[in-house]
Amino acid sequence: MIELNQLQYFVVSAELKSISRAAEVLKTKQPLISKLIKNMEEDLQVKLVSRNGHGIELTAAGEKVYQRAKKVLEDTESIYDIMQPKNLMELRISTNPSGEMATRFAGFYKEHEEITVRYTECDTKTVIENVANDISEIGLIFVEKSLLSLISYYCVTQKLEYTEITRNPICVNVGVNNPYYGRDSITVEELKKLKSIQTDVDLFSLNKHLERDKKTNEIEAPAGVTTNGNLLLVQLLMNSSLCYVGSPFLSRYYENNQIWALPVEGSEKCISVGYLKRQGSSLSENADAFLQYLRETCKLR
pLDDT of 120 = 93
Yes or no: say if 274 and 141 are a contact pair by the CB < 8 Å rule.
yes
Query: Distance (Å, rounded) from C-alpha 88 to C-alpha 41?
Result: 39
pTM for the model: 0.62
Q: What pLDDT score does 222 carry?
A: 65
Q: Indicate the DSSP class of residue 28.
A: S
Are 9 and 36 contacting, i.e. CB atoms less than 8 angstroms apart? Answer: yes
Per-residue pLDDT at 74: 79
Which tens digit of pLDDT belongs to each residue from 208-259? 544 444 344 444 566 678 876 677 888 898 899 999 887 665 555 556 668 8
Give the per-residue pLDDT at 301: 46
Domains delineated in the chain: 4-83 (1.10.10.10), 87-301 (3.40.190.290)
In total, the chain counts a number of residues equal to: 301
**Taken in order 184, 188, 194, 197, is the CA torsion positive or negative?**
positive
pLDDT in tens, the chain (301 residues): 788 888 889 999 999 999 998 888 887 899 999 999 999 999 999 999 998 888 999 999 999 999 999 888 877 765 555 454 455 678 999 998 877 788 889 999 999 998 999 999 888 889 999 999 999 999 999 888 888 988 998 899 899 999 999 888 878 889 999 999 989 899 988 988 898 887 655 556 555 544 444 344 444 566 678 876 677 888 898 899 999 887 665 555 556 668 888 888 877 778 889 999 999 888 999 999 999 999 988 764 4
Helix ranges restricted to H, the chain: 4-16, 19-25, 30-44, 60-83, 99-110, 124-132, 148-158, 188-192, 209-212, 230-239, 248-251, 285-299
